[in-house]
Amino acid sequence: MLEVRDISWQAPGGEQVLDRVSLQVKAGGLIAVTGPNGSGKSTLLKIIAGLERPAGGEILLEGEDISSLDVTARAKKGVCLAFQQPVRFKGFTVGRLLELAAGRPLSQEQACALLAQAGLCGREYLSRQADSSLSGGEMKRLEISTVLARKGRLLLFDEPEAGIDLWSFSGLVSVFKALKRQGGKSLLLVSHQERLLETADEILVLEKGRITEQGPPAKVLPRLSLSCPGCGRREAVPL
Amino acid sequence: MNSITKKLLETVAGWKGKWEGACSLRENGACVEMRSTRFVEIAPKEGLPGLDIHILPGCAGETVAVPACITDGGIDDLVYNDFHIAAGARATIVAGCGIHTENGEPARHSGIHRFFLGPGAQVRYVEKHAGSGDEALRAISPETEIYLEESAQLEMDTAQLGGVGRASRSTKAVLAAGARLFLVERLVTQGREQAKSAFTVRLDGAGAAAELASRAVAREDSRQSFSSRITGNAPCKGHSACDALVSECAQVDAAPSLCARHAEAALIHEAAIGRIAGEQILKLRTLGLSQEEAEQAIIEGFLS
C-alpha cells in the first residue's frame, strides 16, 4: 500500500506546486488523479518515484518510509513510473529496453506479450531502435510496456493516454482493468480521460496543488465538467 | 604465441583457442602462424613487411583472420597487407590490433591495408583495436584504402575499445558503378587519449552508395576529431553520420563535408555531439539501475 502524507513542493521560482497533498492507494487498488494542466499531477508522481524531492511530507510504501530513498532504491522497492513524455534512446532496441526493465533476459514471446498488452503487436518491433524512428504513440506504448515488465508493487502512470490512437486507447483501458483484476499491485494514474478515470476506485481532483474533490467515479465524474473544464473528457484522444 | 597475445586476441579478434579458416597472426612484428586454404591464399609480401591475401573465385563466406599483437613497449610495427578479392567471392576478414606495454616504453602499430574487390565481390571487414598495461604511450595508426569495382560491397566494422593513447585513422574509398560501402566506426577514449579519424570517399560510378556512421564516446581529458568527405561524381548516394557523447573535460570535433560533382548525387551528412541526456539516466534509474549502471548501459547501447 502507498501512503502519501502532506507532500508539498515548490518550483524553483517559488511557486507552490503541491500544498500538503495526502492520499492512499491500497494493494490491488487504483486511484486516479485528474485536474487542470499545471495543477501538480505529474510533479506528484515524480515525487513518489523519487525524481523530485518534496519540501515536506512523507511517502510510505507498505508502511516503510521511502521518503529519503533515491530513484534507484525506490525502483528496487517496486516503484515504477511510466513517464508522460517517453525517453528515446539511440542504440537501444525495443527488446533491450524491455530486458533492462525486466531485469533479466526475455524470450521473444515474453517481450512480445508485454508489447501486446500495451497494444504494440509484432515481433519486428523488438529489433527496432527505441529512438526517433518510432512514432510518439509507439514510444508511449513501449513506455507502458517497460512498467508492465517491472512487475513492481506500485505502478505510476502519467497520462498514459497521451499520443495513443483511438484503437489502442480501448486496449489501454483494458490494460488497467486487467491490472486491477490481477490484484496485488497499487496503481496510481494521472489522466484526463473519462474512460480511464472510470476504471479507478477513487478519483482525486487536484487544483492549484491541493486536492479539492475526492470520491468514487460515479460521484466525482458528473461534477468534473463543471468544476474542472477539460478533466474527464470523453472526446477522442489525440492521434 | 605468448599468454598476453592470447588475451589480446580474445579482445580484438574474438579468438577462442584456434583459427578455423585461413589466418596469419603477427606478434611483435613477426609472423607466428600462417595458413592458407583452398579459397584463400596468404603469402608474405616481397620487399615489404606484410601480406598479399588472395580470396579466390568460389569463396563463399570463409573467414580470414589477420590480427596483430604487440606485447611490450619499445616496438614500432609497420605492416602492409593487400587483400585481393575475386569477382563474386564472399568473405569475412577479421583484423585488428592489440598492444600491451609494461616496461614503460611506448609501442606503435601502423597497419596499412588495401582492399581490391572485384565485380560483385562481398566482404565484411571487422577491425578492433585495444590497448592495456602501464602508462606508456600505445599508438595505433590504421590506414585503409578500399577500391570497389562494379557492384562490389564492403561492410566495414571498426572499433577502438580503449587503452590506445594515440590513434590516427585514415580510411579512403573509391566506388565504381553499383558498388556499396557500409562503414561503422566506434571510438572510445578516456584519460588523456587522443584519436583522429578521417574518411574520404569518392563515388565515381552510377548507383554507387556509401553509408558512414561514426559513434564516439569521449571521457575525462580525452580528445577526438572526426572528418569525412564524400564526393559524388555520378548519380549516387552518400550519407555520413557522426554522433558523439562527451563527458567531463573531453573534447570532440566533427567536420563532415560533402562535394557534389554531379546533379544527381544525393549526399547527406549529420553530426550530433552532446552529453548523456539526464532524462535517459533518470528513466533507467526508474528501472532499478544505479547512476553508474545507467551511464554504462547508455554508452554500450550507443556504441552497439
The mean pLDDT of A24-44, rounded to a whole number, is 95
Note whether A89 contacts B215, CB cutoff 8 Å: no
Q: Which of A71, A79, A98, A147 to mutate to test the interface with B (most CBs of B within 10 A)?
A: A71
pLDDT, tens only, A108-166: 999 999 998 888 877 889 999 998 889 888 899 899 999 999 989 999 999 998 888 77
CA–CA separation, B180 and B208 (whole Å): 6
Mutate to test the interface with A, among B283, B299, B302 (most CBs of A within 10 A): B283
Chain B residue nearest residue A97, CA to CA: B284
Q: Identify the pLDDT of residue A172.
A: 84
Which domains, from first to last, does chain A contain? 2-84+147-227 (3.40.50.300)
In terms of CA atoms, which chain A residue is nearest residue B285?
A72
- What grid cell was written down for A46? 515524480
Give the whole-number percent of chain B exceeding pLDDT 70: 100
The string of pLDDT tens digits covering residues B225-267 is: 999 999 999 999 999 999 999 988 999 999 999 999 999 999 9
Cell numbers for B63 = 573467414
Q: What is the pLDDT of residue B286?
A: 96
Q: What is the pLDDT of residue A34?
A: 95
CB A227 within 8 A of CB A212: yes
Of A145 and A238, the one with more pLDDT: A145
Measured in angstroms, the CA of B287 and the nearest CA of chain A are apart by 5
**Spatial CB neighbours of B27, under 8 Å, sequence gap ≥ 6:** B1, B2, B5, B68, B69, B70, B71
Q: Is the pLDDT of residue A228 over 70?
A: no
Percent of chain A at pLDDT > 90 equals 72
Give the span between the Cα atoms of B291 and B281, in whole angstroms: 7
CB atoms B282 and A92 under 8 Å: no
For position A237, what pLDDT does the model report?
47
- Grid look-up 474542472 returns A228
| Residue B291 sits at the chain A interface (C-beta within 8 Å) | yes
Helix, strand or coil for residue B220? Answer: coil
Q: Encode pLDDT of A113-122 as tens digits.
A: 999 888 887 7
Longest dimension (CA), chain A: 49
Cβ of A75 and B302 within 8 Å?
Answer: no
Indicate if the pLDDT at residue B275 is higher than 50: yes
Q: What is the mean pLDDT of chain B?
A: 94
Q: Is B243 at the interface with chain A, CB within 8 A?
A: yes
pLDDT of residue A234: 55
pLDDT band per the 50, 70, 90 thresholds, residue B38: very high
Complex confidence, ipTM = 0.91
